[in-house]
Amino acid sequence: MPETQPAFQFADLRQQHDVAQLGMWVFIATEVLFFGGLILAYAVYRFGYPDGFASAARRTDIAIGATNTAILLTSSFLVAWAVTAARSGQGRPAGILLGVAALLGVVFLFLKCIEYHSEYVEHLVPGLNFSVSDRNPAPIGLFFAFYFVATGLHALHVIIGMIVLMFIAIQAYRGRYSSRYHAPITVAALYWHFVDVVWIFLFALIYLPGRSS
Amino acid sequence: MTEASFPQWWPPRSLVLVWGGLLVLLSLTVLCAYQPWGGLNAPIAFAIASCKALLVALVFMELRHSSALTVVFACAGFFWLGILLWLAFGDYLTREILPPAIT
């Protein structure tokens, strides 16, 4: 049965919806600073060692990186579509769209695993088996340390997002939400879009430098 | 054909357009990365990434239809991030000894 009454501290469902959304934006603000600190560290060392970072970025797999970006953008689109479907009271289609979006998250992680494996085989994992034949290997090691920390933390966010999307998808499919109350879908969608935005910047920082030289 | 003739769960045209636009921007940024533009490559990659993020925020995250309060909350994180980057670069970009030493 869809929710018809707001929680006791809210005047109506509309207010409950707005507060839930605002809460997610506060969380996203903390996440912006969380990833922002990492990106600052990257920027400082990239300014310091432009050649080392370009040479390191060339060793990443741009085909997998670009495919994964397209996958996340598409899954974000499906989630945005699910929100509009839920708003017009279409719980079932919304549930299916959220489920497909979560499955695209699985594809993303699968490709990421293939990538990690090939980096392990190429001895690019700092602290585990790092060894490259370069005049100055230290900046390359630094780049890959950033790469594994940033993509690892992002992958953790994808895993959490997938679990949340799957849960909400089942609830939506069962008709738990209505056109009046679908705040969980909107809030989960905001989180998933944010994970997408983080990847958009990581893609530009990790895969694109040094391609033209 | 009018909007009303589509099923109710059909995606709004704005979402489909933005999805297509994001994929075009992705192709564009990969294409630009291979052009020998020297110091311009990095700012172009960052500019395209920012456009993509802005499209996602405005349309997918529905900031364009949100209340002023929500927009303020959404901007807050980036405001503090701006201060972090501004002060940090004020330091690192004006140091006489750069890069920071690593061994």
Say what the ipTM of the complex is: 0.93
CB pairs under 8 A between A and B: 147
Give residue limits of the domains in chain A. Answer: 13-206
The reported pLDDT for the residue numbered B92 is: 85
Distance from CA of B5 to the nearest CA of A (A): 15
Inter-axis angle of helices A50-58 and A13-48, nearest 10:
110
Domain A13-206 has CATH 3.30.300.130: no
Inter-chain contact B52–A29, Cβ cutoff 8 Å?
Answer: no
Q: Do A179 and A13 form a contact (C-beta atoms < 8 A)? A: no
Q: How sure is the predictor about B101, in pLDDT bands with cuts at 50, 70 and 90?
A: low
Inform me whether the pLDDT recorded for B38 exceeds 90.
Answer: no
Cβ of B54 under 8 Å from any chain A Cβ? Answer: no
Q: How far apart are CA B89 and CA B83, in angstroms?
A: 10
pTM over 0.80: yes
The residue among B12, B4, B91, B93 whose CA lies nearest residue A84 is B12
Q: How far apart are CA A66 and CA A27, in angstroms?
A: 28
Give the pLDDT confidence of A77-121 residue by residue, as tens digits: 999 999 999 999 999 999 999 999 999 999 999 999 999 999 999
Give the pLDDT confidence of A136-147 residue by residue, as tens digits: 899 999 999 999
Q: Per the structure block, which two tokens stand in for A131?
A: 């060894």
Q: How far apart are CA A91 and CA A162, in angstroms?
A: 19
Measured between CA atoms, the residue of chain A closest to residue B72 is: A25
Amino acid identity, residue A154? H
* Residue of A27, A73, A185 to mutate for B, most B C-beta atoms under 10 A: A73
